[in-house]
Amino acid sequence: MPSDLNIHHIKQTFVKQYSQFYCGLACLASIVKYYGGETTQEKLREQSGTTLNGTSLLGLYQAAQNLGFDVAGYEAETKNLKELKEPVILHILKDEKLEHFVVCYGFENSKFTIGDPGWGITQYAEEELAAVWKSKALLKLVPGKNFVTKKNESQSKRKWFLQLIKDDYPVLGIAAFLGIVISSLSLATAIFSQKLIDQILPGKDIRTLVFGVIIFGTILLARSLISYVRGIFLVRQSKEMNTRLISNFFGKLLYLPKPFFDSTSTGDMVARMNDAQRIQRAVVQLSSQVVIDVMIVLVSAGYIFFYSVSTGFISLFSIPIFELLAWRYNRRVIAAQRNVMQSYAATESKYIDTITGVKTIKTFHRENLFAKVVNTVYEFFMQKVFELGLLGAKINLWISAASAMLLTGIISWSAYLVLNTKSCWDR
């Protein structure tokens, strides 16, 4: 468990609210992450009964219990907060009229460290906190025996994923095998080009040239045919998996209690249904394309080792370099992608809810107001897309730079071997 007032850990685990009604959910999500767990504000909304009016202290209490916390509600004074060793959720009043939730992490150097989901990590003097903490209400949360850490959550997600694609094993296996065959046939272009330049054209061997062109063309046609067959298998898998996901989602949706529908907009539910397509694309990427990429690396490495062992070892040096880049940017990419998905869902939800309620909007002449709201939400979504794009461009720059240096090194070393009359077997 993290030490008292570990500011770095607090900042790493702090969660900002992405809706004006989600301050309580963001506070609870921050404490979950603080103790090594993982959750989302969407999940907590369902567990806490959050509505468009926000979350009640009772709703947070019940949601925290569902997450495995030992929860207790108290009325206290600032002097009691100084003695606490665990983060707690405080119910405060901002600007003397807006109810709000914040996380109090502790007291140090005459200041309270406060996580405000609408602002960030900040510090309050005792008098400042007392001025806004008028209700004196707090929730104390301590992980219980049923609290699920991120490690256990990852294992649960892995089991869920494997169960999800269980019915698709045969189709995905065939698609992956065909992808490997396609990748292997793709090497024919490189091999034929080498033989053409090094042997066939210098030797003016017309018979071999014609025979090679026929074989090369046959391989390309076979690759196209196999790609077509693989595409059919993937389309079939996409149809069946999306049908299962939507059927499972909608079947469970109808059995949820009515308060859930009262507190959830139509747009949010539609956005969740559209997540099925993203899940299906991720399944294909993980189960098929990754296998193909690994095989391409292995075959290419074997081909290079066949010609020069030393050059092969130089090429393998690229693996730790790219692994380092992946490790460095992995969390940032995941966070940026999650922000894009969440903002996309919010945008889609706002569009649908606005169109659904257009009669009411026109009745009260609020077209201009809702147009501004929708534009604001969409601009926020595009900002997240822009940030993800910038991160992708930065990663591509490092990958391109690393690739350029490695390729330059391999070519230089190969040229050195040739100039020193080394044979292709490094004799």
Instruction: Provide the 8-state DSSP code for 19.
Output: S
Alpha carbons within 13 A on the beta-carbon side of 80: 12
Q: What is residue 259's predicted lDDT score, i.e. its pLDDT?
A: 67
Are 295 and 314 found together in one domain? no
Same domain, 177 and 131: no
Task: Say whether both 238 and 125 belong to one domain.
Answer: no
Last residue of a domain, one of 299, 321, 355: 299
Same domain, 76 and 173: no
**CATH code of 78's domain:** 3.90.70.10
User: Tens of pLDDT along 384-416?
Assistant: 999 999 999 999 999 999 989 988 988 888 888
Same domain, 265 and 352: no
Q: Do residues 233 and 193 both lie within one domain? A: yes
Residue 288 has a pLDDT of: 61
**Angle, helix 23-34 to helix 57-66, in steps of 10 degrees:** 30
Residue 207, token pair as written in the block:
């018979």
The better pLDDT of the pair 137, 213 is held by 137
The pLDDT confidence band at residue 123, using thresholds 50, 70 and 90, is very high
pLDDT tens digit sequence for 64-108: 998 899 999 988 888 888 888 889 999 998 877 788 999 999 998
CA angle centred on 78, ends 74 and 84, rounded to 5°: 65
Q: Are residues 131 and 88 part of one domain?
A: yes
What is the number of structural domains in the chain? 3
- Residue-wise pLDDT for 240-278, tens only, equals 877 887 787 777 778 777 766 766 667 667 777 777 667
Say what the pLDDT of residue 410 is. 86
Judged by average pLDDT, the poorest of 60-64, 188-192, 262-266, 383-387 is 262-266
Pairing between strand 69-75 and 88-94? Answer: unpaired
- Residue 256 domain-assigned? yes
| 156 part of a folded domain | no
CA distance 411 to 306: 16
338 Cα distance to chain centroid: 5
- Identify the pLDDT of residue 316: 84
320 with 417, same domain: the answer is: yes
How far from 392 is each of 290, 344, 402, CA to CA, in Å? 19, 18, 15
d(CA 86, CA 167): 45
Q: What DSSP line would sit under 410-422, residue for residue?
A: HHHHHHHHHHTT-
150-164 helix and 266-284 helix, angle to the nearest 10 degrees: 80
3-state secondary structure of 70: strand
Distance CA 17, CA 145 (A): 28
At residue 422, the pLDDT reads 46
16 lies in some domain: yes
* CA–CA separation, 139 and 52 (whole Å): 22
DSSP classification of residue 51: B
What does the DSSP 8-state code read for residue 76? -
Q: What pLDDT score was predicted for residue 335?
A: 84
- Count Cα atoms within 13 angstroms, Cβ side, for 10: 21
Q: Using 50, 70 and 90 to split pLDDT, how confident is the model at 174?
A: confident
- CATH number of the domain bearing residue 229: 1.20.1560.10
> Could you tell me the pLDDT band of residue 285, with boundaries at 50, 70 and 90?
low
Residue 135 has pLDDT above 50, yes or no: yes
pLDDT at 267: 66
pLDDT tens-digit readout, 288-302: 666 667 777 777 778
For residue 110, what are its two tokens? 């005459």
H-state helical runs in 357-422: 358-363, 367-419
Provide the terminal-to-terminal Cα distance of the chain, rounded to the nearest Å: 58
More confident residue, 257 or 317: 317
Q: Which residues pair with 124 in a beta bridge?
A: 112
Among residues 416, 405, 200, 408, the alpha carbon closest in space to that of 308 is found at 416
Tell me the pLDDT tens digit for each residue of 226-243.
Answer: 889 888 887 887 788 778
Per-residue pLDDT at 4: 61
| Residue 350: C-alpha distances to residues 286, 379, 387 (Å) | 32, 13, 21
Q: Is the pLDDT of residue 373 over 80?
A: yes
Looking at the domain assignment, is residue 158 inside a domain?
Answer: no
User: Which of 8-22, 136-150, 171-185 is least confident?
Assistant: 171-185
DSSP string, 96-146: TTEEEEEEEEEEETTEEEEEETTTEEEEE-HHHHHHH--S-EEEEEEE-TT
**Residue 165: pLDDT over 80:** no
- Indicate whether 108 and 140 sit together in one domain: yes
Q: What is the pLDDT, as a whole number, of residue 377? A: 85
User: Would residue 200 be called left, alpha or beta, if left means φ above 0 and alpha means ψ between -120 and 50 degrees?
Assistant: alpha
**333 in any annotated domain:** yes
Please give the pLDDT value at position 16.
Answer: 87
Q: What integer pLDDT is reported at residue 305 of this predicted model?
A: 83
Please tell me the pTM assigned to this model: 0.58
Residues in the chain: 427
In the DSSP assignment, the letter for residue 168 is G
Please check whether residue 365 lies inside any domain of the structure: yes
Per-residue tokens: 410: 């391999």
The pLDDT value given to residue 27: 94
Residue 163 has pLDDT above 90, yes or no: no
Q: Are 114 and 123 contacting, i.e. CB atoms less than 8 angstroms apart?
A: yes
- Mean residue pLDDT of the chain comes to 82
Q: Which residues constitute the domain of residue 317?
A: 308-426
CA 272 to chain CA mean position, Å? 16
Do both 321 and 289 map to the same domain?
Answer: no
pLDDT at residue 199 is higher than 90: no
Write down the pLDDT at residue 426: 46
Q: At 74, is the secondary structure helix, strand, or coil?
A: strand
Predicted local confidence at residue 390, as pLDDT:
94
The identity of residue 46, as a single letter, is: E
Among 299, 319, 335, give the residue marking a domain's end.
299
Are 327 and 272 within one domain?
no
Could you tell me if residue 157 is inside a domain? no
pLDDT at 423: 45
Higher pLDDT, 67 or 287: 67
pLDDT in tens, 17-51: 877 778 999 999 999 999 988 888 878 887 787 77
